[in-house]
Amino acid sequence: MTVSPVNYHSWRRFWARMFDYFLIGFLFLLLSRNSIFALNNIFLYSALQLIVVISAEAFMLARTGTTAGKSFLGLRVVSPSAPLDFNLAWKRTFWAYVKGLWLGIPIMMFVPAWFARQVLRDSGSTIWDQACGTHIEAEPVGRLRYILFAIVFFMLFAAIGNYEVFLQQIAQGQ
């Protein structure tokens, strides 16, 4: 297996982050569906969800150097200057969401993502990787893996889109 520092792979990075965002966000939604936050204040609930998403991603990065989406697409976060502990992973993930996706604001998040891609293309690193002294290593990924990723991502979107159906099934089963 050949692993090399990434200069591009911006689309792999973007789709890996989107996969993790939707996966962790959906799990959070399922686990917190009856919480007081979900019922009363959508803004507070969304902020809490983002904190959980960032923290969960940072935990996975600190433990394994990768996340579900990154692993699927052959990406790993490394820190040659210091161990990738939870604090460094949280800082990196936080800045990726703030500077790279404007906290996931729908539609608007594509603007900073495009600028982040330009910085990555021009410098070989993102702003958050530069700030944290980290970089991405990528292994070659074949077409079959991309196809499987697309299928799993589609299934995740289908699950999110049918969330209300899931709730009805749960209610009928009780």
Q: Tell me the pairing of strands 75-78 and 4-5.
A: unpaired
**What pLDDT is stored for residue 33 in this prediction?**
78
**What pLDDT is stored for residue 170 in this prediction?**
75
Residue-wise pLDDT tens digits, 88-140: 999 999 999 999 888 877 788 888 888 888 898 889 899 999 999 999 999 99
Contact between 10 and 115 (Cβ < 8 Å)? no
Environment class of 116 (CB within 10 Å of its CB; exposed 0-12, middle 13-18, buried 19+): buried
Residue-wise pLDDT tens digits, 155-165: 999 999 998 88
Query: Which sequence spans correspond to the domains of the chain?
Result: 4-110+119-173
